[in-house]
């Protein structure tokens, strides 16, 4: 547990825009909202498309798939999941930032997993202790034009872009950090 706290502290220190973070929900929760429900405008934004490379759930994604971070968007918002092959312990950490407030729902988290929003709800910091199953968070960006994903790590090492899988096609970003923009079509 001290390693997780150290990793989370490092991520928070390097990325949080404010000093205060709020816990999204208690560990072990399967789904919980970190903020009030969306306005009608924000709900409509969740359904609107983003860049093609992040649209749709990754084909064939299951617990125990190739290790890394899986990110996609669909009509219910954004989804981030982590997994890896085998049942050994792997800790995945990172930061997602948005120019507008976010709301989150935790997915399949166990004791020791953490997802927190900054006080202004514009930074989401996560640390998932994974044993080959699925850990994650769903999030909503309340009509943001873009989101930036940064500080991705597996353990104490930076996560390689080829271990980040985007959308239905599992495309990889060119580099980390990377920014995803809303589709303007």
For 114-152, how does the pLDDT look when each residue is reduced to its tens digit (9 = 90+)?
Answer: 999 999 999 999 999 989 888 999 999 888 999 999 999
Q: Among all chains, which residue has been given the structure tokens 């709900």?
A: 43
160 pLDDT more than 70:
yes
Average pLDDT, the chain: 81
- pTM for this structure? 0.80
Question: Which secondary-structure segment (H or E) carries 9?
Answer: helix 2-15
Q: Count Cβ neighbours within 10 Å for each residue of 25-64 and write b for 16 or more, e otherwise.
A: beeebeeeebeeebeeebeebbeeebbebbbeebeebebe
Domain carrying residue 143: 2-181
pLDDT value for 86: 85
Q: What number is the average pLDDT over the span 32-58?
A: 70
pLDDT above 90 for 45 = no
Number of domains in the chain: 1
Q: Comparing 57 with 18, which gets the higher pLDDT?
A: 57
**Quick one: average pLDDT of 8-31?**
40
Is the per-residue pLDDT at 51 higher than 80? Answer: yes
More confident residue, 118 or 36: 118
Peptide bond before residue 177 is cis, with ω within 30 degrees of 0? yes
Confidence (pLDDT) at 4: 43
């Amino acid at each position: 547990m001290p390693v997780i706290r150290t990793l989370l502290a490092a991520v928070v220190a390097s990325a949080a825009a404010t000093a205060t973070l709020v816990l999204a929900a208690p560990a072990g929760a399967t789904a919980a909202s970190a903020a009030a429900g969306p306005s009608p405008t924000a709900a409509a934004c969740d359904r609107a498309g983003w860049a093609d490379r992040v649209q749709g759930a990754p084909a064939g994604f299951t617990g125990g798939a190739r290790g890394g971070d899986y990110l996609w968007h669909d009509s219910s918002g954004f989804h981030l999941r982590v997994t890896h092959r085998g049942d050994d312990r792997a800790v995945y950490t990172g930061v997602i930032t948005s120019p507008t407030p976010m709301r989150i729902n935790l997915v399949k988290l166990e004791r020791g997993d953490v997802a927190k929003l900054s006080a202004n709800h514009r930074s989401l910091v996560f640390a998932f202790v994974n044993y080959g199953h699925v850990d994650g968070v769903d999030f909503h960006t309340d009509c943001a034009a873009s989101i930036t994903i940064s500080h991705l790590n597996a353990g104490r090492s930076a996560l390689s872009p080829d271990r980040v899988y985007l959308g239905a096609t599992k495309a990889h970003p060119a580099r980390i950090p990377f920014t995803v923009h809303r589709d303007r079509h």
